[in-house]
Amino acid sequence: MRLNYGWVIVAAGGVMGCVAVGTLFSLAVFLQPMSTATGWSRTGISTAMTLDFLTMGVAAFGWGALLDRVGPRPVVLAGAILLGLGLFLSSRATSLLEFQIFYGVLVGAAASAIFAPMMVTVTGWFETHRALAVSLVSAGMGMAPMTVSPFASWLIETYDWRTALMWIAILAWSVLVPTALLVRAAPPQSAASASGAGGAGDPGMTVGRALRSPQFIVLGLTFLMCCATHSGPIFHTVSYAIACGLPAMTAVTIYSAEGLAGLAGRLVLGVAADRFGAKRVLVIGLLIQAVMAGAYFFTRQLGEFYAVAVIFGFAYGGVMPLYAVIAREYFPMRLMGTVFGAATALSSLGMALGPLAGGWIFDAYASYGWLYIGSFGLGLGAAAIALAFPPLASRAREVRQPA
């Protein structure tokens, strides 16, 4: 029964992640129409996305600590309500500053209440096939470019950016709130049986010890550098393709192709991680991500965009779920909300870098070239740091639970 409902949690996490992440990243589709309609600079609009990730970083730690105390349902339900509110208020913004506050703070705080808590919750429901289960939740998030983004683009062309954002807010409420009610914490016996799991092998580990451990330091820095690598290319590639002369709707299909490839990457690398180990698969994925981020520098034609986007999306989509899996290998379940929330906070700093840096680079040089060169360097750094993960403690040393 536990295993069966665990798959319900996976499905709920996938749906919620798709809507939450999709609405967050749909700003990439709104970027040019908003700039044209309002006169706001791309840097100014992109700053809202940077604020999103900074807010996600701050809020993730708080949501994670709350998750450990009250369980997942109140956390994700609060995020669902807050997300729709942030989107609706953003559609009514009369100034760039208002938009940055509504979209950059409220939406960011809401998304962080769904992303990390659902990943953590799923790790508690599965002892075997954990990487696959987490990857399936992340696969739902990967569906966002193929669902929310094209829908947003159609709404913008049919109405205007304000009406489009209002309807997306209504969609978020109508989907997320009912789905959040399906979410449950793992049964006590599942959590208890896993309390001694993790490389630390210490059932008495405190939050302070966990956050000071070499395992967490490597995890957090790798997560940060990985997100800094792909955040700029993800957010600005639609605008880059338009700048290369491609029609707006065609440019959005590149983003969708990237998302579809990310879906495949999550499934393939999830299965590979269960078989070969999450750390080994993570390093390989990070290297591929770095090379493909740099390859955008040489991309100009539609076919080239599709080729690079597919491999790039496969890599970054595939590695993202592995951080929760690796964290679960090192730390006990009772600390996972706080620990993974803290790691997500660091990753959000990396995600905040790309949109702002890309907007500044384009406004300064009328080109995105340096964005992709910088992403390549950051990607190599992420792979190098990941090589420093400490080895896992022997399973024979794990504390056995009383019958």
pLDDT computed for residue 189 by the predictor: 52
Q: Is 299 left (phi over 0), alpha (psi -120 to 50) or beta?
A: beta
Instruction: Give the Cβ contact number of residue 118 at 10 Å.
Output: 31
Length of the chain, in residues:
403
Distances (CA, A) of 380 to 81, 327, 394: 39, 21, 30
Query: Which tokens is 341 given?
Result: 């929330």
d(CA 38, CA 48): 15
pLDDT computed for residue 123 by the predictor: 83
- Give φ, ψ of 328 to 5 degrees: -65, -30
Q: Give me the number of domains the chain comprises.
A: 1
pTM to 2 decimals? 0.73
pLDDT computed for residue 359 by the predictor: 81
Instruction: Answer yes or no: is 398 within a domain.
Output: no
pLDDT computed for residue 403 by the predictor: 36
Dihedral of the CA atoms 126, 281, 319, 221 (nearest 10)?
A: 100
Buried b (16+ CB within 10 A) or exposed e, 181-198: ebbbbbeeebbeebebbb
Q: What is the CATH classification number for the domain harbouring 199?
A: 1.20.1250.20
Could you list the residue range(s) of the whole structural domain that residue 159 is in?
Answer: 2-390
pLDDT computed for residue 224 by the predictor: 93
Instruction: Answer yes or no: is 261 within a domain.
Output: yes
pLDDT computed for residue 352 by the predictor: 77
Q: Which amino acid appears at position 198 of this protein?
A: G
Instruction: Answer yes or no: is 212 within a domain.
Output: yes
Dihedral of the CA atoms 45, 47, 48, 53 (nearest 10)?
A: 150
pLDDT computed for residue 124 by the predictor: 81
The secondary element (H helix, E strand) that includes residue 348 is helix 336-365
pLDDT computed for residue 145 by the predictor: 65
pLDDT computed for residue 373 by the predictor: 93
Instruction: Answer yes or no: is 331 within a domain.
Output: yes
pLDDT computed for residue 393 by the predictor: 58
Cβ burial, residue 208 (10 Å; 0-12/13-18/19+): exposed
Spans of the chain below 50 pLDDT: 1-2, 190-201, 394-403
Per-residue pLDDT of 365-388, as tens digits, reads 878 889 999 999 999 999 999 999
The closest of 184, 180, 75 to 122, measured between CA atoms, is 184
Q: How far is CA 92 from the centre of its chain?
A: 26
